[in-house]
Homo-oligomer: A and B are copies of this chain.
Amino acid sequence: MADKKKNGGYIIIAGCGRLGANLANTLSNIGENVIIIDKNQDAFRKLSPSFGGITTAGDATEIAVLKNAEIEKATAVISLTNNDNTNIMVAELAKKMFNIGQVIARLYDPECECVYQEFGIETICPAVLSMKEIDKLLPAISLGALETEGER
């Protein structure tokens, strides 16, 4: 596997859903080295034919899978599976066990967001991003409260 990687480090993406595949394709297109992990081999069909990275079928919450992807050499780990708990676990492993500098997790539940930012894990929350975008699109209304408004 190592011979396929350039020297400049690489980015591990967990989850080859719509966002994971799109990000992997984009990163690959701009010349970044990408390893994408998904439990389901079929998920890799979402990658474009020009995708030049590595695909790994496996559970990214398993240390053996991460080690096999040589996580210790990664510059960034981005967990984008459809499961918040999986994304949290992958991000925590990457940050605490492997000391990865840049760790990003997608969290559907906005409640979790603040907690993980304290651990040096960046989070992206589609619901919060969508609220901010709607705020921009409704010029007559200011949704000032939205950034602190998690789902109860």
Contacts and interface: CB of A to CB of B under 8 A. Distances in A.
Interface string A87-129: 0000000000000001010101010000000000010101101
A30 to B, nearest CB: 7
Per assembly, the copies of the chain total 2
Interface of A: 11, 18-19, 21-23, 25-27, 29-30, 32, 46, 48, 75-76, 78, 80, 102, 104, 106, 108, 110, 122, 124, 126-127, 129-131, 133-134, 137-138, 140-146, 149, 151-152
B30 A130 contact: no
A134 B104 contact: yes
28 contacts: A11-B141, A18-B127, A19-B130, A21-B151, A22-B127, A22-B131, A22-B149, A22-B151, A23-B143, A25-B149, A26-B131, A26-B149, A27-B141, A27-B143, A29-B149, A30-B141, A30-B142, A30-B144, A30-B145, A32-B141, A46-B151, A76-B138, A78-B134, A102-B137, A102-B138, A104-B134, A122-B137, A129-B129
